[in-house]
Amino acid sequence: DTDMPRLEVTTFKGKNMIRSIVFSSVFCALGSVVAAAEPEVLFATHCAVCHGDDRLGGLGPALIPESLRRLKGDKLEAVITHGRDATQMPAFGDQLSTEDIATLAAFLHEPLPEIPVWDAAKIESTLIVNEDYTAPTGPEHKADPLNLFVVVETGDHHISVLDGDTMEVLNRLPTPLAVHGGPKFSPDGRYVFVMSRDGWVQKVDLWNMSEVARVRAGVNSRNIAMSGDGKWLAVANYLPMTLTILSTEDLSVAEVKDIVGKNGEASRVSAVYQAPPRESFVLALKDVPEIWEVFYGEDPPFYGFVHDFRDEGPLGYDEPFPVRQITLPDVLDDFFFSQDYEYVMGASRDGQGGQVVDLVIGHKIADLDLPGMPHLGSGITWERDGTTVMATPHLRDGVLSVIDMENWETVDQITTEGPGFFLRSHENSNYLWADVFFGPNRDVMHVIDKQSLEIVKTLRPAPGKTAAHVEFDRYGKYALVSLWDQDGAVIVYDAATLEEIKRLPMVKPSGKYNVFNKITFSAGTSH
Ligand code: DHE
């Protein structure tokens, strides 16, 4: 053995790391036993400057298993070798051996040695206020403020603000890296909040289309939800296993709730949803069979007569944001709510079905016959044959299920050219638009009659390029489709004639969100 300093692999940070590299080099020069390609050293030398000494992100995204889950197999090695187009991620294929790249990739898939503390003080320390922002006294553009679209361009991490009448791009702003899920609007439509997978929440004022501030509410986050009164923004986190509640006013922290099931097990939050009529946020938990309801109203409803949860432990009604924990027979991943927010439909984790839970009584009331991994989060409802029906795509099967919301039975299954991801319609449109997101036909978009459930047209806007995610303008006159490509576009269609009207070049536009449809909770869009 030797008295010489060793690499501290679990506690290294900044300067320690640099020291470690120096020591390693010394070891090597002296013919020491320390391997040249220690993963920590590789990381410090090549990655830390952009991704942070602690792997929690910086100029580049966090490099932790929770963020890299989608880079399965050798995909991460491929990114390290070849870099990423249209980003600042360089190719390391010329500098590192195949073996070093494999070592590095394996290291990045390892969990962090310790889960970082991400409490209120830490979150607030990340706040970045835009010094150039001055609050305007009214909209500083001529467009209808309620007919704006926010388009998320994931290809180069921007949002574009689009005038929904003229279909002109009014402004383009940088966002945090890797935005996921739908941005959420304040109830008056003035502000929009955007979230990234690394937990950054950005507040943008649409009156002058400027960033107000951003804060990192989690280390790895899932999505955000706006309270019905517009005061709070809830952030669902995987890492740490918490729900962060921010004040929408200044992004200060109102609460960080640890998520621990009745069995004492901590759980990640798959997603948080708003349930405005109930003055609550509803949480889907990833690791325990429970739904949580977190109330934000002054006088939380349902407390007086729902006894089963009152009996189940301390509720802390005097505390802000009291929690109701509803036990389920199974873990549910993906949710869809009835328009009145009484019923929540949830998909089982095994992808073999689902359940309906009545939030008023706090119990499962029906099973859903939905094999093939339904993507309930993309569901939409409309009126058909005197009843409300809901349609959902399936991530594994080329089929859309249509469910009667009164008896929860599947009334039809529409066969498509492949599994889809998103569905959209509008109260003023006779059609629903369903993308094919997976497989050889992912460049097609089906337009389906809401009454006959027949496909009336299959569009192929750019052969070979994924066409996905539709959103209507506030009047249901236009349907906007994303060409999900670096060299992509948002394509504007006449929603009645289905003719293309305009193509707006965009950089991998994922979702687009119309202010009016969102703040009025249009049945044809996501909430
Ligand atoms: Fe999403 C919304 C979960 C992968 C693009 N996605 C959502 C929501 C959830 C969710 C819970 C609803 C949140 C909201 O809007 O408030 N997504 C998941 C997953 O569990 C999954 C399958 C795996 C994961 O990596 O997290 C997943 N999602 C993807 C993608 O690979 C997509 C296609 C590309 C991307 O950006 O990562 C993707 N998800 C989206 C988009 C929305 C979304 C564009 C918003 C839809 C909307 O119109 O509201």
Q: What is the 271 CA–ligand 1 centroid distance (Å)?
A: 10
* Region of 507 on the Ramachandran plot (φ > 0 left; ψ -120 to 50 alpha; else beta): beta
Q: Would the CB of 420 count as within 6 Å of ligand 1?
A: no
Q: Would the CB of 231 count as within 6 Å of ligand 1?
A: no
Maximum CA pair distance of the chain? 83
SS3 labels along 19-56: HHHHHHHHHHHCCCCCCCCCHHHHHHHHCHHHHCCCCC
pLDDT of residue 127: 98
Chain-centroid distance, C-alpha 52: 23
Q: Would the CB of 70 count as within 6 Å of ligand 1?
A: yes
Q: What is the 423 CA–ligand 1 centroid distance (Å)?
A: 13
Half-sphere exposure of 424 (CA within 13 A, CB side): 27
The pTM assigned to this predicted structure is: 0.87
SS3 labels along 257-285: EECECCCCCECCEEEEEEEHHHCEEEEEE
Q: What is the pLDDT of residues 504-525, one digit of tens each?
A: 999 999 999 999 999 999 999 9
pLDDT of residue 36: 52
pLDDT of residue 16: 37
- In this predicted complex, what is the ipTM? 0.97
Q: What is the 69 CA–ligand 1 centroid distance (Å)?
A: 14
Q: Would the CB of 271 count as within 6 Å of ligand 1?
A: yes
Q: Which atom of ligand 1 is nearest to the CA of 424?
A: 48
Q: Would the CB of 155 count as within 6 Å of ligand 1?
A: no
CA nearest 146: which of 188, 182, 184?
188
Q: Please state, in angstroms and rounded to a whole number, the distance separating the CA atoms of residues 473 and 450.
A: 18
Q: What is the pLDDT of residues 353-405, one digit of tens each?
A: 789 999 988 889 999 988 778 899 999 999 999 999 999 999 989 999 999 99
Q: Would the CB of 181 count as within 6 Å of ligand 1?
A: yes
pLDDT of residue 86: 61
Q: What is the 298 CA–ligand 1 centroid distance (Å)?
A: 32
Q: Would the CB of 210 count as within 6 Å of ligand 1?
A: no
Q: Please state, in angstroms and rounded to a whole number, the distance separating the CA atoms of residues 467 and 450.
A: 21
Q: Distances from the Cα of 463 to the Cαs of 133, 171, 484, 508, in angstroms?
A: 42, 29, 12, 16
For helices 14-29 and 39-46, angle between their N-to-C axes, nearest 10 degrees: 120
Q: Tell me which residues of the chain have a pLDDT lower than 70.
A: 1-36, 86, 299-319, 351
Minimal-distance CA residue to ligand 1 atom 37: 180
Q: What's the DSSP call for residue 132?
A: T
Q: What is the 238 CA–ligand 1 centroid distance (Å)?
A: 14
User: What residue type is 397 in one-letter code?
Assistant: D
